[in-house]
Structure 1
Amino acid sequence: MPRSLFWSRTDTAGAEHAVLDDGAGPGFAAYGTQLAVDPIPYTCRYRLATEADGTTTSLAVEVEGAGWSRTVRLERGADGWRVRTGEQGDLDAALRAAGRPPTGLPGIEDTDRLHEALDVDLGGSALFNTLPIRRLGLAGAASSTEHRITVAWVLVPSLEVVAGEQVYTALGPGRVGFASDTFRAELTVDDTGVVRHYPGLAELS
């Protein structure tokens, strides 16, 4: 049976609800909704699919706020990543009206930068850290060496896609170290690899 998961944001007013359909092995499918007020109020909906080995095959995201909306779809095939985008309204105008700086365009110009990415990451979501944790078998592992990976990181609310470098390290059952640039955190996960506590971001209810 699919699982219903709900995280409360701890970095801003917001929440995430996801429905997770576990497959055999580390792979799974999920769809969900994020609500947040920072940098401006928005609703973000996503749909994710992976292979049985946990590698991502597709991610579709749509985000909307007052007077604007954006979409991005990522698909990974034998020849690499394909990224398609859409936009209505003016997100930058909404950001300027809220006293916030403008943001980047949705998508990515050079998909070759994503060549080594087997996972995707969605800004503001604790669920997406589960992808490499399950794929690498870190949830119940004893302390181990670090795993340095490249992810296709989708920024929210801009839906700009960048190649991000992340580091995951098993710290013992239920604990995984996570690092990205200068940021470091110890994630608490359940026995299936789902992130329960992401310090400074989200807590699973």
Structure 2
Amino acid sequence: MKRLDKDKLIREVREKGIEITNINDLMKINKKYRDLVPIILKHLNEVTDESDKEFLIRCLGVKGFDEAAKPLIDEFYKSNNVSYKWAIGNSLSIISSSEALPELIKIVQEKEHGIARQMIVDGLGAYKTEEVKSVLVNLLKDDKVVGHAISGIAKTGDKSLIKYIEPFTNHKISWIRNEARKAIKKLEKE
């Protein structure tokens, strides 16, 4: 198992003119540090330890780091570790790459990924396309992602979708009921 060489990563980041005091500073980067994406991706490919890989994946979870989306999708498909895949999905939902949208739609419909799809489903609503809306409504039938589909629908801003969420205000699971009520309230304000 190959671990992350943290000193090497810090050195490479500093060579780009970005001063960090420790490795955890990479969790705070934003879009203006996109020069770091190739460096982080290089390290992601070099390490095999999933906890180190997960750290790097979380560092890539920055809105607009579009060039990281495809490698993250590849990483998602390579793993069988649900929590690791969930972390990848979380970063993909934050990145919000329009170029990756067809692949993201494909992933969320592949039930074999189970709960690892949750954050991708949640993030889909930001795209606001008719295809995304249709996919999210269909995912309301999937127990593994239903709450996240409701949240995604709320992000579309489409009031006409309220009718699909209303039945979930009586769901047996309280957080899904709460998510449905919150989504309806948000959509009614649009």
Which one has a bigger Cα radius of gyration?
2
Higher percent of residues as strand: 1
TM-score range, shorter chain: under 0.3
Query: What is the TM-score normalised by the length of structure 2?
Result: 0.25
